[in-house]
Amino acid sequence: MKSGSDLLKTFGTDTVFDVNAIVAHVLFTVLFDEVKSVETQEELRNIERAVKGRADIVLAQLPMLGLPEHRAVMEAAFVYGAKHQFVLTKGGSLERLGIEDPDSPGSHLWFLHCREVLRQSDPCQHTTLKKPLTTLNVYTFLQLMETPLVTEASVDPSDVKTVGSHLHAPLLFLFSQRETLALDRVTAETLGWRLRGEVAVVLIHRDSADVRTPVEYNAAYRLPAEGSVIKYFNLKSIEEVVNLFREDTVQEEEEDIDEDWAVLDVLDDEVVESVYRDRDVELDVGLVTELTSDTFSKAVQESNTAVVLFFVRWDAASLAVMQSFKEVADALEDIADVQLACVDCGEWTDVCSSQLIAAFPTVRMYWSGGLPHTYTGMLGTESLLKYIMLSLAAAPVLLSSSQEVQSFLQGDLFHTQATLSPTRVVGLLSSSQDSGWPMFEGAAQALRGETLLGLFADQQAEQWAKDHNVKLPAILVFRAPDSTIKAHSLQLSSTEQLVSDIQKLLLDTFPELTVENLPLYLELRKPLLLLFLGPEGDEEQGQGLDRRDAREELHRLADTSLLDTYVPCWVHLGRTPAGRAVLESYLGSIPQLPALVLSQLASGGEVFHFPSESPLNSDTVLQWLHRVERKEEQPAGLVLDEKWGPSVPFYDFLSIMDQEVPGYAAQKTPKMTKNMVGEKGSDEEPGHSNRTPSTKKHMPQQEVPTSHQHSEF
C-alpha cells in the first residue's frame, strides 16, 4: 500500500485472502491512530479513563482478523472514528464487562457510555449489540446509541418521525398524561436502558389533541418490517415488554443476567453488593458463638478472654467483618482460652444498649479481671488475629533480670506472640518505685494487642541505658526485620503522651506501604516519597535502575535525617496491587518500574515523578527534591481534588408528588387554611346535622370493601 511514493505497508498474502480482508486491513492501517487495540482490561481501563466525560467507546471483540465482522467494524470506524473511540480486542480478558465468556470465541460489539460519566471513579455503562456484526447492524446500533434514551412526542404513533423509523429498529410507544408524566418518564427511561440499541422508546403525550389512540391502551409498538402496523397493548410490567421484543426480534440470545446494569435498582456499594451476592448462604457464624440477653453476661464473665463482635444484619460492613471474624474463630479453634462470640444488636438491643455500642460493627474484648477493651484496629482476619494473640500476653510483661530482657527482645519469651509482632518494646526504670511505673502500666494497657511491652524496673536498667547511650527513663525498641534495637530517652509527662511517643517510635523509617499500614503514615501529614516496585521478574532490565539498589539507596537515605520532612516508603505492586491504580492515577499510565514519586497529599496536591532515565542514588534524589522545593520541577500529575458528593441523584419524591397530585405536598396559603378549618380542623362527625331519622331512615355502610384479594405479594 502506497501513498505517493512512500510505502505505507505491505500485506502478506495470507492476510488478504478475500475482499473483506483487504478492506478490513486497509482501513485498519489507515485508521491506525484512531482505532486502539487492547489485550488486557487494564489497557481498556486506561482508555476509558482517558475518554470519560469526553467520548464513548465502541469495543469490538474479534477473535480473527480479516473476517466480514472485522470489515464491518472497520467500516463503522471509518465513519464514526472521529466521534467514538474504537477499541479492538481479541477478547478473553475483559471480565470487567461481565458478559464475556472467554470460551466463546465469537465476534461481539459493545458500546461503552463513557461520555456521560462525570467522575473518574464511576464506571462506564455499556450496551451490547445483540445482532450479528454486519455493517448495517453496527451502523443501526451506533445510530441508536446516539438517539436519546427516550424521545417525547405529542402526535399519534403513526406520525412519529424519529431516528428509529429509518433505522430498521422497532419502535415502542408509551402513552402518558400530565398527571403521571414523571413516573411514566421513569418507566420509559428504565425501558430505554433495557432496550437500548434494540428498540427506540417514544413517550407520547396523550393530552395532545393529535393523539388518537384509544385510552384503554397505554402502550404500542411497531416492528421495522415494511408496512408493518402499529400494535396496541397494555403495559403491565417492564419484563413483559422486554420479553416481547426479545421474542419478536432476537432469537439467538438468551436473556442476559447483567442487563440490569443501568437501572435504578443496581447496588452501587461494593461492600453491600459483595455481601448481597452471598445472600443465598444463610448467615452462618461458624465457630463464633451467638450470644443473647440470657447468655451474654455469663459468657463474658466466665471465659478468660471473650472477643465479641457486635453487629446488625442490615449493615453490610458488619457482615463483611463477620466473614473475617469467622476465619479468626477457625484459626483460634484450638486455643481454649479465647472465645469468639457475636451479638446481633437488631435482636438483642438491650445487650448492645447496656454495652453502649455506638457503631456497627464493634469488636470488644472482655477478659477476666480487667476492663473491656474496644478494638480500634483494622477489621480483617490477620489484624484481628494478631490483636487477640498479642492481647493474651501480660500488659506489661514484667521482666526481672537482664536475661529476661534479652530473651524478651529476641522473642524467646512469648514466642507465639513474638512471631506475630514485628516490634517489641521494653520500658527501663531504675526501680518499681519510680513515678513512671504507673504510666508504663497504663501505656501497656492502652497498647495491648498492638505490640508487646515489657517493663524492667531494676538497678540493672541503668546498665542497659548506659550500653545504649541513653538516660533513664528510657525505652528499647526491637524491630524484627533487621533485628535492631534502638534506645530512646523519655520525658514522662502523662500516659497519653507516653502512648503516643511509643507509637511514633514503632513507626518504620522506610516502611513498605500496605493497605493495612498506610493510615499510620498518612497521619504524619508529610509528603510521601513513594518508591513503586514491580513484582519480581516483572521489570525491564537495562536502565541501570535495579530494584534492590533503588530500595537500598533510599533506605540509607531514610535513615539519615535528610528526609525528615518526607515519609520515604515503598510499595510492592505484587503484594499491594492497589498501588498500581495509584501510580496510574498519579502519572496517567504505568511508567517504567521501579518508579520514585513524590506525592504532596497534605499540601498542594501535586505529584512529581523522579526522571526514570536518571540514576537513582542519594545525591540525585536529594537534588531532585530540592528542585521540587524550589519549584523547578514540573508536576507529573495531581492528587484528585474532587468532592465525594452523592454517588447518584436521589429519587425526588417531592417533585413526583407535585406532578402527580398537584397541591398534595404544597404548603397551605393562609387563605386556604381558613377554608380548610371546617374540613380538617374539626373532628366532629361529618354532616351529622342533617342525618335525622326522619330524613335518612336506615343507612347501611357505604364503604365496605368488596374485594378480598391481598395484593401485597
Q: Which of residues 393-422 bind other proteins (CB under 8 A)?
A: none
The answer to the question of residue 349 lying near other proteins (CB under 8 A) is yes
d(Cα 383, Cα 390) in Å, to the nearest integer? 10
Cα 202–chain centre separation: 35
Q: Is 670 in the site for other proteins (CB under 8 A)?
A: yes
283 to 269, 280, 312, 320, 351: CA distances (angstroms): 20, 9, 12, 11, 21
Residue 371 burial (CB count, 10 A): 8
Considering the rule CB under 8 A, would residue 540 count as an interface residue with other proteins? no
Nearer of residues 223 and 238 to other proteins, judged by Cβ: 238
Judged by CB under 8 A, the residue of 435, 484, 561, 706 near other proteins is 706
Site string (493-522) toward other proteins, x via CB under 8 A: ----------------------xx-xxx-x
**Minimum CB–partner distance for residue 221 and other proteins (Å):** 23
- Terminal CA-CA length for the chain: 67
Does position 480 bind other proteins by CB under 8 A?
Answer: no
CB of 398 to other proteins, least distance (A): 28
Entry field: residues in the chain: 713
Residue 654, SS3 per DSSP: helix
Out of 13, 234, 459, 711, the residue judged to bind other proteins by CB under 8 A: 711
Query: Which residue in 599, 616, 621, 625 binds other proteins (CB under 8 A)?
Result: 599
Q: State in angstroms the smallest separation of the CB of 690 from other proteins.
A: 9
Q: Which helix (H) or strand (E) holds 408?
A: helix 402-410
DSSP string, 162-207: -GGGGTT--EEEEEE-GGGHHHHHHHHHHHHHHHTTT-EEEEEETT
Residue ranges in 240-279 that form contacts with other proteins under rule CB under 8 A: 264-265, 267-278
**Based on the number of CB atoms within 10 Å of its own CB, is 567 exposed (0-12), middle (13-18) or buried (19 or more)?**
buried
Least distance in angstroms from the C-beta of 276 to other proteins: 5
Q: Distance between CA atoms of 234 and 263, rounded to whole angstroms?
A: 22
The partner residues of 59 in beta bridges, in order of sequence, read: 87, 110
Q: Which is nearer to other proteins, 145 or 317 (CB)?
A: 317
Classify 209 as helix, strand or coil. coil
Stretch in the footprint of other proteins (CB under 8 A) among 130-138, 226-234, 553-561, 651-659: 651-659
**Which of helix, strand or coil describes residue 221?**
strand
- Cβ atoms 115, 149 nearer than 8 A: no
684 interacts with other proteins by CB under 8 A:
yes
Q: Does 333 bind other proteins (CB under 8 A)?
A: no
Among 32, 212, 255, 483, which residue interacts with other proteins (rule: CB under 8 A)?
A: 32
**Interface residues for other proteins in 167-186 (CB under 8 A)?**
183, 186
Cross-strand bridge partners of residue 174: 203, 219
Task: Considering only residues 425 through 454, tell me which ones interact with other proteins, judged by CB under 8 A.
Answer: none
User: What is the rounded CA–CA span in Å between residue 372 and residue 394?
Assistant: 15
Q: Which stretch binds other proteins (CB under 8 A): 164-172, 399-407, 504-512, 634-642?
A: 634-642
Under the criterion CB under 8 A, does residue 643 sit at the interface with other proteins? yes
Q: Which of residues 73-102 bind other proteins (CB under 8 A)?
A: 90, 92-93, 95-98
Task: Give the separation between CA 431 and CA 460, rounded to whole angstroms.
Answer: 9
Q: Which of 21, 23, 24, 30 binds other proteins (CB under 8 A)?
A: 30
Q: Which CA distances in Å does 148 have to 163, 390, 562? A: 10, 61, 59
Q: How many residues bind other proteins (CB under 8 A)?
A: 156
